[in-house]
Amino acid sequence: DGGITQSPKYLFRKEGQNVTLSCEQNLNHDAMYWYRQDPGQGLRLIYYSQIVNDFQKGDIAEGYSVSREKKESFPLTVTSAQKNPTAFYLCASVLAGTGVFSVTEAFFGQGTRLTVV
């Protein structure tokens, strides 16, 4: 079945440690996104990538890094510079066509809950 897979589902990080969240999709989607969700805050965009080897900062990119070496994969690294990383992280992908009427809905993974211990 096609979809987006995030792993792990739960992740614990020690202070000062970098951790990487995995996001893989087999939908052949061009664009991929990382969102952070905090209670009462909705979803906030961290990074997004429209094509392989290219990505852009979102609204809250500080303390995070990404790579897009393959179309299927968009891993997110939470670095030690991120002072408050405890949150729920969601990855999404979109089939980006050409023209304004080609927009489709975003598909989301099941999320990774990161906790600093």
Partner 1 sequence: AQKVTQAQTEISVVEKEDVTLDCVYETRDTTYYLFWYKQPPSGELVFLIRRNSFDEQNEISGRYSWNFQKSTSSFNFTITASQVVDSAVYFCALSVPYSGAGSYQLTFGKGTKLSVIP
- What are the residues binding partner 1 (CB under 8 A)? 30-31, 33, 35, 40-45, 48, 50, 58, 88, 90, 92, 94, 96-111, 113
Q: Which is nearer to partner 1, 5 or 18 (CB)?
A: 5
Written as six digits, the tokens of 105 are: 């809905």
- Cα torsion 50, 21, 58, 68 to 10°: value is -30
Least distance to partner 1, CB of residue 32, Å? 11
Least distance to partner 1, CB of residue 15, Å? 25
Q: Which is nearer to partner 1, 16 or 40 (CB)?
A: 40
Give the distance from CA 107 to its chain's centroid: 12
Q: CA 28, 108, 6 angle in degrees (round to 5)?
A: 85
Instruction: Give the DSSP H or E segment for 34.
Output: strand 31-38
Least distance to partner 1, CB of residue 48, Å? 7
Rounded to an integer, what distance in angstroms lies between the CA atom of residue 117 and that of residue 51?
A: 35
Q: Which is nearer to partner 1, 5 or 20 (CB)?
A: 5
Least distance to partner 1, CB of residue 86, Å? 15
